[in-house]
Amino acid sequence: MKITAKDAEGVLPDIVLGNDGAEQWIIDPSPLPSERRKGQLTPLFRGAHPFAWARKNGVTSFSWTVSRNHANGDEAGKFSRRHSGDVPANVTLVVEDGGFADSYTGMILDVTAVDRIGRETVFRYTIDGAVLQAPVADS
C-alpha cells in the first residue's frame, strides 16, 4: 500500500505518507474510512419522543500510522521536528493498494509524531472530509 498527498493549492510538492515497499510501513490501524453522519433531533411540543431524522450529509475520515526507518538517529530527529510543515493541509490523497488506486480530497487535520526510537520514527495522520473522487476514465 502506498499513500501520497498532493497539495490542492499546488504550493508544496507531493509527499508520500506511507509506502510499504520503501521502509515506510503502514502499521495499525489500516486506513479504513469512518463516516460521521449528521442528523436532526428536535423536541416536539407535548410529544413523548423527539423528531429524529438522519440528514445523510456525513463526513468521512480515516487515520493511519506510518513507521519509518532513517539513515541514522540524527536524520530521524530532524525528520520528526520538520515533517509536520512538509505535509499539506488541503490535499488530494492517492491510496494505491493491490494494483488499484483511489483518490480522495479533504483536509489533513492531524500529523502527530507518535514515537521516535533510535533511527525509527512513527507518525499518525488523519484526513477529514474525505470525498472519494470518481476514477479517471481511460481515453
Per-residue pLDDT reduced to its tens digit, 100-121:
888 888 999 999 999 999 999 9
CA distance 24 to 115: 14
79 within a domain of the structure (yes/no): yes
Query: Considering its fold, how many domains does the chain have in total?
Result: 1
- C-beta separation of 107 from 128 below 8 A: yes
Nearest to 24 by CA among 34, 15, 33, 32: 15
137 within a domain of the structure (yes/no): no
42 within a domain of the structure (yes/no): no
In tens, the pLDDT along 32-60 reads 778 888 888 898 888 888 988 887 777 88
The predicted pLDDT at position 135 comes to 66
92 within a domain of the structure (yes/no): yes
Question: Which CATH number goes with the domain that contains 126?
Answer: 2.40.30.210
46 within a domain of the structure (yes/no): no
11 within a domain of the structure (yes/no): yes
72 within a domain of the structure (yes/no): yes
Q: What mean pLDDT value characterizes the chain?
A: 87
Could you list the residue range(s) of the whole structural domain that residue 27 is in?
A: 2-37+53-132
